Amino acid sequence: MEYLFITILLLLASFLFASHFRRKLSNLPPTLFPTLPLIGHLHLLKKPLYRTFAAISAKHGPILLLRFGFRRVLVVSSRSASEECFTKNDIIFANRPRLLAGKILGSNYTSIGWSSYGDHWRNLRRISTIEIFSSHRLNDLRDIRADEGRLMIRRLMSECSSPVNFKSVFHEMKLNLMMRMISGKRYFGGSGELEEEGKQFQEMVKETALVADTSNLGDHLPIMRWFGMKGLEKKMIKLQKKRDAFFQELIEQQRKLDGIELENKKNNTMIEVLLQLQKTDPEYYTDEIITSFCLNLLTAGTDTSASTSEWALSLLLNHPHVIKKAQKEIDNHVGKNRLVNESDMSSLPYIRCIVNETLRMYPTVPLLVPHESSEDCVVGGFHIPRGTMLLINQWAIHRDPDLWSDPERFQPERFESVESTKDGFRFMPFGSGRRSCPGEGLAMRMVCLTIGLLIQCFDWERIGEEMVDMKEGLGLTMPKAQALVAKCRPRPMTHDLISD
């Protein structure tokens, strides 16, 4: 037994020495010692991962090559290295790793978020850019966003006699807004039948975030797929069936309205636009492609914009002087005789500063969606092998004291100064490069309008003397740990602003 123990120790020492020697010869990035057999560095991963990686990078360097089981993972926490990844190496890192979530929830890696870089992805991106998120298409649908903003203010007017749960307000408003743009339906504030349908989809969104954020050892240790990981796979398959059925029903409902001349109809919904494309090329624009498009748009657009709005209002409640400054800007440029609208935002730079500062401190995706290298490349002078998964810790970059003065302080004014310039990728809440979020324009329009209306129409109070709790919860989109509950008091002109 003693000899067996010594033999095992010698084998382990030999393995670690050989790994260290190979690393020196191949100029790989620094790693953490020891790298355990089989599991690599999986034992070090604690949620939230962006904080864990930030702490490790602060100690060991901003470019690290870790091992998640058999998978190499490049963790980048610096401006210069992220710039290299998204400029000279942009095409190399334009792929996605093959993870279970992409196989099942990403329709076998065919959705725009999970598909590999190539002709299929380029076509999906073209559709997104031209047919879904173009300035022309967003302008066509801005009346819907204005109407939902007005309805939100009316709702708050009716509920402001007592504290309001703003997590609920924002999620219901954003879901209404996105569904009206996608299918013409409005779930909350209308009929009970539609509201029940909306609640069912809300549950699907929550379930999606839960299973997608669950650590799946099978992604990194293939053998684990047969030991205890089948439960997660079954949950994903069941969830995807529900999501597909939900959107297939929306598509069928739109088909029943096919007699309308869509070309002559203003404000076509996004499903209508995609069904028109289906007529031109039915073999490519299948129902599965349309479902995937709408599903990505709705799940991503609803949760992220609602979360950002909640973080922004939480920060404002803890910094009332910022609210006063923003109200003054709105009163001076918009006046007190009409509501703020999207076209005002070019004259309201401080509102955009508030939203940008919120996204700096609380980015909706603190770790950018994983990329994967399609061939060998060099980052920061280090050799990066083909097939390496890339994780950009934008949360760490957004709070780097070498890039931002007093980074833990909420200071919208920093985006009025030279500090706000996108020098070296210091600020990229929607990612960068070819795989950046195509919905950035829509997201900024929605959140800026929401925050502008709330500031224009109400004065604000916290519940009690304590500051709003700013702890982060767990999840893909970094939600608040505690839902925001606050008091709002209509400003003198608000009643006239929302009257018909």
pLDDT digits (tens, 9 = 90+) for 334-348: 999 999 999 999 999
Q: Decide: 357 and 411 in contact? Cβ < 8 Å.
A: yes
Cβ neighbors of 392 (< 8 A, separation 6 or more) are: 76, 82, 85, 367, 368, 371, 431
Secondary structure of the chain: what % helix, strand, coil (to 5)?
Answer: 55, 10, 35
Q: What is the pLDDT of residue 228?
A: 59
Query: How confident is the model at residue 156, as a pLDDT?
Result: 97
Q: At what angle do helices 270-280 and 166-182 cross, to 10 degrees?
A: 30
Each residue's pLDDT tens digit, 262-279: 555 555 889 999 999 999
Contact present, 47 and 198 (Cβ < 8 Å): no
Mean pLDDT of 7-22: 46
The C-alpha atoms of residue 380 and residue 432 are separated, in whole angstroms, by 18
Percent of the chain with pLDDT over 70: 90
CA 293 to CA 123: how far, in whole Å?
12
Q: Are 447 and 355 in contact (CB under 8 A)?
A: yes
Q: Is 437 annotated in some ligand binding site? A: yes
- Residue pair 146/341 in contact (Cβ under 8 Å)? The answer is yes
What is the distance between the alpha carbons of residues 343 and 340, in angstroms, rounded to a whole number?
A: 8
Q: What is the structure's pLDDT at 259?
A: 61
**More confidently predicted of 392 and 24:** 392
Q: Identify the CATH number of the domain defined by range 26-91+365-428.
A: 3.30.43.20
Q: Which residues contact 283 (CB under 8 A, 6 or more apart)?
A: none
Q: What's the pLDDT score for residue 5?
A: 43
pTM of the model: 0.91
Distance CA 375, CA 389 (A): 12
CB atoms within 10 A of CB 344: 18
Confidence at residue 194, expressed as pLDDT on a 0 to 100 scale: 83
What are the structure tokens assigned to 465, written together? 């003397």
pLDDT at 261: 54
Q: What is the mean pLDDT of the chain?
A: 89
pLDDT of res. 158: 94
- pLDDT tens per residue, range 215-271: 688 888 887 777 656 788 889 999 999 999 999 999 999 888 866 555 555 558 899
pLDDT band at residue 106 using 50, 70 and 90 as cut-offs: very high
Per-residue pLDDT for 9 more than 50? no
| Tokens of residue 179, six digits | 């569904």
**What is the torsional sign of CA 408, 412, 416, 420?**
positive
pLDDT digits (tens, 9 = 90+) for 416-427: 976 556 555 899
